[in-house]
Amino acid sequence: MSRNRARWVHSLKLSIIIPAYNEAHTIEAVVRRVQAVDLGCVEKEILVVDDGSHDGTADVLKGLVGIRHIIHDRNAGKGAAITTGGRVATGDIILLQDADLEYDPADYPVVIKPILEKRCEIVIGSRFLLERPVFFGRRRSPYLSHYVGNLFIVLLTNLLYGKRFTDYEGCYKAMTRDVFAETPVSANGFEFDNELLCKAMRRGVRIEEVPIHYKPRTYASGKKITWRHGLIILWTILKWRVMLI
């Protein structure tokens, strides 16, 4: 590592934005896992945006130290919570983290490495580079329709934007603060990521994909995304291919 790049890495801060809606059962564990990640010289800033929860999430967050807790009086959507967190983030790199236990913060070093090495401005975490879900046997996934829908989203996005990525719907996205600020997103829901990436791809922002770990939870455990969100995501992908940005 060159002396100039070592100095740059030493002064970096990572802002981790965690949108949370009714995640009282998991939010503390998520925050603890984020706090436990060793990023070396990179400083961490943890921003939890409580998006109008009514299950006690706010009470859990009040008992946690080492985080910045922001409250939405009413539920406005995952995208709205990310936008709120982004407005107050002070880090050089912004990383998105879900408030459940589907993703492992131990993947952070892999996710931010391409940005630290200045190879790109955005990193996408792919759930399918390490392992594809199986739909038979004892370890079969119950989410065949989700997987098929995700494949369609990937194929359509790659076709329209000339890319070859394997996953656009994984939680982990990391980006420089400049790119986040220069890519305004109007979406308030789960389609926030898609609008941001579609706009970034049209602008020619450098993007890399890295493998991440994934353990899906059930709807009984709080999983929120449904086929209706998938339709909105598809419309978002189509819309931002032709609309002015």
Spans of the chain below 70 pLDDT: 1-10, 132-144, 217-224
Query: Can you tell me which residue has the tokens 């990525």?
Result: 165
Measured in degrees and rounded to the nearest 5, phi and psi for residue 6 equal: -65, -40
**Secondary element (H or E) of residue 176:** strand 173-176
Whether residue 222 contacts residue 25, with contact meaning beta carbons closer than 8 Å, is answered with yes
Angle between helical axes of 227-242 and 192-202 (0-180°, round to 10)? 20
CATH architecture, domain defined by 3-242? Alpha-Beta Complex (3.90)
Report strand pairing: 13-20 vs 93-96. parallel
- Tokens representing 128 are 């399918």
Task: Output the pLDDT for position 141.
Answer: 58
Provide the Cα torsion 186, 191, 194, 199; round to 10°: -10
pLDDT of residue 11: 81
Q: HEC string of 93-146? A: EEEECCCCCCECHHHHHHHHHHHHCCCCCEEEEECCCCCCCCCCCCCCCCCHHH
Q: Are residues 20 and 50 in contact, defined by beta-carbon separation less than 8 angstroms?
A: yes
Q: Is 180 exposed, middle or buried (0-12, 13-18, 19+ CB in 10 A)?
A: buried
Supply the pTM of this predicted model. Answer: 0.90
What pLDDT shows up at residue 148? 82
pLDDT for res 119: 98
What are the tokens at 218?
């059930």
Domain residues of the chain, as ranges?
3-242
Per-residue pLDDT of 32-75, as tens digits, reads 999 999 999 999 999 999 999 999 999 999 999 999 999 999 99
